[in-house]
Structure 1
Amino acid sequence: MPDERGRALPRLCVGMATYDDFDGVWFTIQAIRLYQSEVSAELSFVVIDNHPEGAAAEPLRALADWIPGYRYVPFAGYRGTAVRDLVFRETDADIVCCVDSHVLLRPGALTHLVNWFEAHPESRDLLQGPLLYDSLGEPAATHLEPTWGAGMFGQWGRDPRVDDPSGEPFEIAMQGLGLFACRREAWPGLNPRLRGFGAEEGYLHEKFRQRGARVLCHPGLGWLHRFPRPAGTGYANRWEDRIRNYQVAWSEIGWDHAPIEEHFRELLGPDVDADAVFGQARAQSAHPLAVFDAVLCVAGDDETCDAHLHPADVAWRVERVQADAGPAADPEWRRLSRWRAALTAAARRGYGQVLVVDDPAGPVVPTRPDHRDRLAVVADRDWDVCLLPASVAGGDGSAPLTVAVHQRAYERLLADFPHDAPTFMEFRNAWDDPRRYLRERIADGILTAVDFSYDRSDDDRPVLAPGNEVIQLTDGFLVRQGSPPREHRLNNTAAVILELCDGGRTVAQIAESLAEIFALTPAPSVEVATCVAQLREIEVLAESGIALP
């Protein structure tokens, strides 16, 4: 089938995420090429390597040299089973079959899969198949019962309708995710806050149902899973991650958390402080910055952006963004390259809003109660960028920046941010750095902002900085500074706000005065706070306001 440019797309992609499991990937793909040859002409492979710095990385990459349609995608942003979400983001195929990297398929399974979707070309359903046991003689498990066992939601069950391999698919509640398939356009995505192992079974199935789709078991889509790992898995498998994953996932689909806590309290036993484990999971999953789909750090070097330098309840989500810029490149060019990489990744992964941290000290949560209340519902508002408080300026004098970007602004920012040396010089001449770029784009009305960066006390009363001379003009003010010597020309709105910054009014009172002067409803509190912050940045206003006695 062709894409919008008329190019032929692969009909079917078999994809998998892997962590140091070269043998599993090799046998899974080679078995498909040997025993599913009926679909070879329309087949592609995508492998997401979740440990691209590991020993298996280069052999996995080299498979592309001799396997047609094979694509290797290194991904070190975070670790966990939810990385398989990227399989659906990294292919152009119409049908996507995601398997574990150590799964073998019954002969003819992919033919059944393709035939079913050809007969249902508009299907939004999730298609799965029965798990075959290692003996190959026992009855297959067709689904998971919605019960708990050994730290997992779901226990194997069997429907006798599976006994006819040519039978029609039938509805099930849920199934293990060693193999599942759907049309790429029907993929609902996995919550980007999931980390580590577990919680997708049941949750993913419910997401399909909440979108009006079905979960089906196709008798002909049998699969065999290698469970034993004598050499170990290599990746972390922590109860803390799993509990938090269940809380995040079940919150998204509206399920009650009580069964999670009941099961894990019994499982962990009296020797583990379950209250502390659940308290930490709740603090992390309900953190104010959890409203954003990802926290991507573009600041400094690898050392200054290590997760352990960030607040504990945020560190588990921070991803270090790498960019293709050599060590000899201009530091500001490397910084802007990481910005591009962060926005490109957010767009590719389908994130609704991503927090970009350009501050080595990490994101700062707003402290004002009204800001925290508004931040909790920020996803429901219309905005392009959301400005958050930053830490103090770095030792090199650079101004730190923490900003969330909404998906509707990805294209705009990627168009403006430089992608090569000439566009870098154009950007630096026009805006100097991302902070000034964002402020000017907001001031020009090109970007719509929610501004929490002004996070001072409600008692803060902005006042003119000492040593500044203010000259009245016909269309605003001219502010002259003595040290360093410079001038700022303010438009009418900024001039009116500056005139009201007399040390006797709070920001809220200034906004109320503007509302009265210009008959505005409601009072422009955010706009006034943004203007005050900008006037402080250029040192027209004093850095510290006058607090109430």
Structure 2
Amino acid sequence: MDDAALAALRELAAAPDDRYRQRPAAGPAGEPCTLTVGMATYDDYDGVYFSVMSLLLYHAEVMDRVSIVVVDNHPSGPHAWALKRLEQAIPQLRYVPYDRRVGTAARDRVFREAASDWVLCMDSHVQLHPGALAALLDYIADHPDGGDLIQGPLVSEDRRTVSTHWEPEWRQGMYGVWGTDPRGIDASAPAFEIGMQGLGVFACRTKAWPGLNPAFAGHGGEEGYLQEKFRRAGHGVVCLPALRWTHRFDAPRPVPATQTWYRRLRNYLIGFDELGLPADEAIDHFTGILGEATVEEGLAAYQAEVRNPFTAFDAITCVNLDDRPDRWERMQIRLAALGIPPERVHRQPATLTPGNHHIGCALSHRQAIQQAHTDGLESVLVLEDDAVFLNGATWVLRRALAEIQSRPWSLFYLGGADWGRTFPRVDGCDHLEAITGVTTTHAIAYHRSVFTRLLGELPDTVEGMSAWIGRNIALDQYLARWDEPGCYRIVPVIAAQEGQLDLVAEDLRDQFAV
């Protein structure tokens, strides 16, 4: 990379507010290989650098079978372009920006971006001991179709303590305490079954990956939960003694805002709910740390989130132009008024196309759909940043969702201009219309059943989308002519656009909180 290119990168990275700093793009997909070593990172360039270099320097004998994926969980942050430049220097490394889910759930993206049969996921500040990667590849060769979760012992900095697993105990806001099984002290010993282990390093066959709950946010809650998901899928959890690793626990840097007691407790509650397990021990433990009043407040917030009908969508994405922070600020206020916690909403920078805003709109929706598809989600609700909502929107949505859940659907409009047309109610429904010809995309949910079709038909470049818009006018016009079954609109509409309330039924116009 020449001096001019480096100067350009530094300028792009120098925006005063990191929310609106230009983000690096993902690198091209890698060639298929045996194993992907992946790490999700948040403002930890030093950790990534030394972890990656240790792979190249101390595992050189097997790196021809290995690719590296770095998932940047803060691609608008100060470390992003330095991480991107590693991709320029290390051919087998791929940079992937990802901030739809921030925290532990970003690990999920490592598996979804891998172009390999197996994945080893590690923290961005872990060192694998010499021979560890070779031992894992030998294990893979002996178990090519295995579905187990493979873990290894943590070795302390002084190399005296070998922690092979976690004991199922609560301590300091976490479920799990380091333990040592004598069978794992000898690195040459065979693999053996364990209950759980810290997730600084873990590996599995890509097809066996069960995923992490899309509602997780921040850090904590995944240990024990992930191992249980593997067991419920009919697989085991094993310690491979040779897969040894050392973890940097102390770091003289600010603690990310995502690391809060409430978010950790919330993740445990989400995981226990998914697995159908009681949360009494977690509640008692956090009560002992934080006090009864604080935990009761957290439980009330979590229960309100669970009851909120907007949580029925696996993801909520708001597309917002970088030069319109005012719109994003107003949208945050509106979403908070609907009881939607900030953990549930992802701000996606909209694609700016001044010559024709319909091009950027379609590209922005495509990007949101692509993210949901890659994450393996059931649905995504896409909001444009000028959407306003009906007073009482939550109870209307709750009733509409109760009606739609028993039938297949492809598109679900929470608003939409019909230019005076009326549509029939869906049989047996009070809050669902079967629609055709509805325009506007300011609040629309897409179901996974149409992700592949949309991604195939919507171009992913400005040039390609420009030509597509020339043929189709706009995304809403294209969807209005769609032949896909299961297109519904909520009744009454609960979303409109700033400045276009005249398109809403006259008796509802004064009921939108602008």
Post-superposition CA distance 1:90-126 (Å, at most 9, x none): 1201111000011011211111111111111111111
Check 1:211–1:53 CA distance in 2 against 1; reply closer, same or farther (3 A cut): same
State the match for 1:345 in structure 2: 371
State the match for 2:349 in structure 1: 322
Check 1:329–1:86 CA distance in 2 against 1; reply closer, same or farther (3 A cut): farther
Check 1:45–1:226 CA distance in 2 against 1; reply closer, same or farther (3 A cut): same
How far is the alpha carbon of 1:266 from its aligned partner?
A: 1.2
How far is the alpha carbon of 1:381 from its aligned partner?
A: 3.9
The residue correspondences of 1:52-451 to structure 2 (distance < 5 A) are: 52-138=75-161, 140-269=162-291, 273-298=294-319, 301-306=324-329, 308-312=332-336, 313-314=339-340, 315-326=342-353, 328-358=354-384, 360-361=386-387, 367=393, 372-373=398-399, 375=401, 381-389=407-415, 399=440, 401-419=442-460, 420-421=462-463, 423-424=465-466, 426-427=468-469, 430=472, 432-441=473-482, 444=483, 446-451=484-489
In structure 1, the gaps of 5 or more residues are 1-6, 457-536
Whole-angstrom distance in 2 between the partners of 1:114 and 1:366: 56
Amino acid across the alignment from 1:240: Y
State the match for 2:40 in structure 1: 17
- Matched position secondary structure for 2:328: coil
Check 1:426–1:161 CA distance in 2 against 1; reply closer, same or farther (3 A cut): closer
Whole-angstrom distance in 1 between the partners of 2:231 and 2:127: 28
Amino acid across the alignment from 1:274: V
2:32–2:116 contact (8 Å) kept in structure 1: yes
Q: Bigger shift: 289-298 or 72-81?
A: 72-81
- Matched position secondary structure for 2:377: coil
1:165–1:220 contact (8 Å) kept in structure 2: yes
Whole-angstrom distance in 1 between the partners of 2:119 and 2:314: 24
Whole-angstrom distance in 2 between the partners of 1:15 and 1:379: 36
How far is the alpha carbon of 1:68 from its aligned partner?
A: 2.8
Check 1:89–1:323 CA distance in 2 against 1; reply closer, same or farther (3 A cut): farther
Check 1:358–1:242 CA distance in 2 against 1; reply closer, same or farther (3 A cut): same
1:12–1:93 contact (8 Å) kept in structure 2: yes
Amino acid across the alignment from 1:284: E
Whole-angstrom distance in 2 between the partners of 1:283 and 1:296: 20
Amino acid across the alignment from 1:173: G
Whole-angstrom distance in 1 between the partners of 2:270 and 2:506: 40
Q: Which has the larger radius of gyration?
A: 1
Amino acid across the alignment from 2:141: E
Amino acid across the alignment from 1:309: I
Whole-angstrom distance in 1 between the partners of 2:163 and 2:445: 44
Q: Bigger shift: 421-430 or 47-56?
A: 421-430
How far is the alpha carbon of 1:76 from its aligned partner?
A: 3.1
Post-superposition CA distance 1:443-474 (Å, at most 9, x none): x4x23134324359xxxxxxxxxxxxxxxxxx
How far is the alpha carbon of 1:28 from its aligned partner?
A: 0.8
Query: How many percent of aligned residue pairs carry the same amino acid?
Result: 38
1:359–1:400 contact (8 Å) kept in structure 2: no
Residue of 39, 42, 67 corresponding to 2:65: 42
Check 1:229–1:299 CA distance in 2 against 1; reply closer, same or farther (3 A cut): closer
Check 1:158–1:102 CA distance in 2 against 1; reply closer, same or farther (3 A cut): same
Amino acid across the alignment from 2:379: Q
- Matched position secondary structure for 1:13: strand
Amino acid across the alignment from 2:300: G
- Matched position secondary structure for 1:403: strand
Q: Bigger shift: 49-58 or 94-103?
A: 49-58
How far is the alpha carbon of 1:69 from its aligned partner?
A: 0.4
Whole-angstrom distance in 2 between the partners of 1:422 and 1:98: 35
Whole-angstrom distance in 2 between the partners of 1:8 and 1:360: 41
1:363–1:402 contact (8 Å) kept in structure 2: no
Post-superposition CA distance 1:403-456 (Å, at most 9, x none): 2211110122234435445654654664x4444443432xx4x23134324359
In structure 2, the gaps of 5 or more residues are 1-29, 420-438, 495-500, 509-514
Whole-angstrom distance in 1 between the partners of 2:365 and 2:443: 12
State the match for 1:504 in structure 2: none
2:327–2:385 contact (8 Å) kept in structure 1: no
1:364–1:389 contact (8 Å) kept in structure 2: no
State the match for 2:7 in structure 1: none
Post-superposition CA distance 1:321-340 (Å, at most 9, x none): 235545x3422222111111
State the match for 2:4 in structure 1: none
Whole-angstrom distance in 2 between the partners of 1:295 and 1:364: 18
Whole-angstrom distance in 1 between the partners of 2:391 and 2:52: 46
- Matched position secondary structure for 1:147: strand
Post-superposition CA distance 1:155-200 (Å, at most 9, x none): 1122111123222211111110000001111111111111111111
2:308–2:394 contact (8 Å) kept in structure 1: no
